[in-house]
Amino acid sequence: MQSRAAIRYAKAVIELSLEKGELEKVYADMQMIQSICKASKDLQLLLESPVVKTDKKQDILKAIFTGKVTALTLSFLMLLTAKKREGLLKDIATSFIDQYYANKNILRTVITSVSGVSESVKTKVKALVKASYNSEIEITEEHDASLIGGFIIKVGDKQINTTVKAKLEKLKRDFSDNPYIPEF
């Protein structure tokens, strides 16, 4: 869950990038920042460390991101460290991406299966979700071998589970709740 501060900073960056006409570029920057923060535990620990001075953190962020992000994003990173909020960087990037999707009316849909689903299934899911929610759809695919078969579709906070694993668990619950009570 993201903090209020992360949500507010992300909203400010969205508004500024819309004003400057750089929303798509800043969105790409935030995706990169999010992936770098997720991949590098050391960077996240450094950003959260109260021992490392602000100017050192700014130098490190400049070294990492100069030439790779827009001037607006780099200025935002410097402002963030000056305000001692650099520990929120990953959450801010995540919140920015969420708000970007809301701004563009794009609904994220996650399909989890054992080994992937065909393009025809993705097309059908996309059409059904688009018709139900009247918005653009972005499908992300995940793999989970423990599902045995079938798939799980997550749209926002709703989930459809058609996996063999879920059906076996339901059978197990049904059999453990034996309504038969022997008469003595």
CATH number where 142 lies: 3.40.30
Regarding whether 11 and 95 lie in a shared domain, the answer is yes
Number of Cβ within 10 Å of residue 36's Cβ equals 17
Within a domain: residue 184? no
Pairing of strands 158-161, 151-155: antiparallel
Within a domain: residue 15? yes
Helix (H) or strand (E) holding 126: helix 119-133
Within a domain: residue 182? no
Regarding whether 83 and 154 lie in a shared domain, the answer is no
Regarding whether 52 and 11 lie in a shared domain, the answer is yes
- pTM higher than 0.85: no
Q: Which two tokens stand for residue 42?
A: 């050391």
Domains held by the chain: number: 2
Instruction: Choose the final residue of a domain: 44, 72, 102.
Output: 102
CATH number where 20 lies: 1.10.520.20
Return d(Cα 89, Cα 40) in angstroms, integer.
13
Per-residue pLDDT of the chain (184 residues; tens, 9 = 90+): 678 999 999 999 999 999 999 999 999 999 999 999 999 999 999 999 999 999 999 999 999 999 999 999 999 999 999 999 999 999 999 999 999 998 998 888 899 988 888 899 888 888 888 888 888 888 889 998 888 888 899 988 889 898 889 898 988 888 787 666 666 5
Q: Which two tokens stand for residue 64?
A: 């990492």
- What is the identity of the amino acid at 33? I
Return d(Cα 33, Cα 179) in angstroms, integer.
55
Instruction: Choose the final residue of a domain: 78, 102, 126.
Output: 102
Pairing of strands 136-143, 151-155: unpaired
Task: Report the side by side order of strands in the sheet with 136-143.
Answer: 136-143, 106-113, 151-155, 158-161
Residue 118, domain extent: 105-176
Instruction: Choose the final residue of a domain: 102, 117, 132.
Output: 102
